[in-house]
Amino acid sequence: MNMIKCGDSRELLKELDNDLVNAIYFDPPFNSNRKYRLNTSSDLGFDDIWKENEYIELVEPMVKECARVLKKNGSFFFHISADQMMLPNMICEKYFKKVQPIFWKRSRSKNNVKTKLGACTDVIFWCAHVDKPKFNMIYQPLDSYYAANSYKNKDARGNYALGHVCYTKTQAPDPKKTPNRYYEIIHNNNTYKPKYGWRMSIEDMEKLIADDRIHFPTKKTGGNLYKKIYAHESKGKPSTDYWDDVHSIAMGAEGRKYPTQKPIKLLERIIEMSTDEGDIVLDPVAGSGTTGIAAKNLKRSYILFDKNPEAVILCKNALQGGK
Ligand SMILES: C[S@@+](CC[C@H](N)C(=O)[O-])C[C@H]1O[C@@H](n2cnc3c(N)ncnc32)[C@H](O)[C@@H]1O
């Protein structure tokens, strides 16, 4: 199911069934009191100027409808600038059980900001009807300090860091309930039996030893065994709620088609973590269609709405050959 429609999403969303979509990315105007245009000689864009209650009257009905069409284990992402996050936070808390902020560092500090703190952070509220919605682990690049200082050991396979294979005192499993974590390893006439147990079964440990993936003690590393974590096999670090490795599309950059266009990498990360292939992703304020492009790249279906006919043309050009 792929769909692109032009209209006011407060109405269009009512046409969708309950419990239909797996993820929703919602990047409405931010209440920034600005007019956004692609550049000074273009009309392409939208106005983000609202009086009194107009802003809440724009976003709250859409969030309410999104909560209705979202599947029980689905995810809703409300994207907003950090300085405007309070109202969206309240609305998200009203319609969802779980609300977790993700902090996106979209730009570096700017030298031309002289009289205030430079704004460089957006917040993406990750919301769901349940505490544990569908989630696929995603990875971020390793911190440069960690990368430079951890992979200090080397063997024929390459550089590696040391991963723990023994529990500490506070983690130790109960020997009566899990006796299979208290075994002996004998290697080169040395016996290894950690006081608080192994983190893996003897079968898994023996496989790692046979594959030369266990680091045996040297004078430098002391008496413990470690798992070899190779630099060239690392996917990165399991993602945190602080995203500083995706950069926004700069003004005037090649490929920028819409004033507030978000990077495809940001949407791919959101879609990858919250959906599987074949799932449906909805964006009721789609702009240039970034969500649809990311969904298509990842083999998900998309539903895109926007009230700006020029934005809808961009979506159709990007996704359906202009039709
Ligand atoms: C911040 S932009 C979205 C940018 C988009 N994420 C992208 O990557 O291009 C917000 C969009 O909301 C649309 N919009 C505002 N009010 C709307 C409404 N009531 N119904 C549908 N779309 C609306 C605007 O036309 C604008 O394209």
For residue range 196-237, what is the model confidence (pLDDT) as tens digits? 999 999 999 999 999 999 999 876 555 789 999 999 999 999
CATH for 311:
3.40.50.150
pTM: 0.86
Mean pLDDT score of the chain, rounded to an integer? 93
Judge whether 22 and 323 are in contact, CB under 8 Å. Answer: no
What pLDDT, on a 0 to 100 scale, did the predictor assign at position 220? 55
Q: Where are the alpha helices (DSSP H) in 124-240?
A: 144-150, 202-210
Strand duo 21-26 + 280-283: pairing = parallel
> 194 in ligand 1 pocket by Cβ < 6 Å?
no
In a domain, 146, yes or no: no
Instruction: Kindly give the distance from the C-alpha atom of residue 119 to the centroid of ligand 1, in angstroms, as a whole number.
Output: 21
How many residues are recorded in the chain?
Answer: 323
17 and 117 co-located in one domain: yes
What 3-state class would DSSP assign to 115?
coil
What pLDDT, on a 0 to 100 scale, did the predictor assign at position 114? 83
Q: Look at residues 183, 216, 233 and tell me which one is the last residue of a structural domain.
A: 233
Q: Which structural domain, as residue segments, surrounds residue 123?
A: 3-141+237-320
Name the closest-CA residue to atom 5, ligand 1: 287
pLDDT tens, position by position, 240-273: 999 999 999 876 676 789 989 999 999 999 999 9
Judge whether 291 and 267 are in contact, CB under 8 Å. Answer: yes
Judge whether 79 and 27 are in contact, CB under 8 Å. Answer: yes
In a domain, 261, yes or no: yes
One-character DSSP codes across 150-163: H--EEETTEEEEEE
Measured CA to CA, the distance from residue 182 to residue 202 in angstroms comes to 9
Measured CA to CA, the distance from residue 59 to residue 57 in angstroms comes to 6
pLDDT tens, position by position, 103-115: 999 987 777 788 8
User: Which residue in the block uniquely carries the two structure tokens 């973590």?
Assistant: 273
> 79 in ligand 1 pocket by Cβ < 6 Å?
no
172 and 242 co-located in one domain: no
> 31 in ligand 1 pocket by Cβ < 6 Å?
no
Judge whether 320 and 21 are in contact, CB under 8 Å. Answer: no
228 and 253 co-located in one domain: no
pLDDT tens, position by position, 5-28: 999 999 999 999 999 999 999 999
Q: Look at residues 216, 233, 250 and tell me which one is the last residue of a structural domain.
A: 233
More confident residue, 175 or 102: 102
Number of domains in the chain: 2
Residue 239: partners with Cβ closer than 8 Å, 6 or more residues away: 137, 138, 139, 140, 269, 273
> 290 in ligand 1 pocket by Cβ < 6 Å?
yes
Q: Look at residues 233, 264, 281 and tell me which one is the last residue of a structural domain.
A: 233
What pLDDT, on a 0 to 100 scale, did the predictor assign at position 225? 94
Query: Does position 92 have pLDDT exceeding 60, yes or no?
Result: yes
* 304 burial type by CB count under 10 A (0-12 exposed, 13-18 middle, 19+ buried): buried
What pLDDT, on a 0 to 100 scale, did the predictor assign at position 33? 82
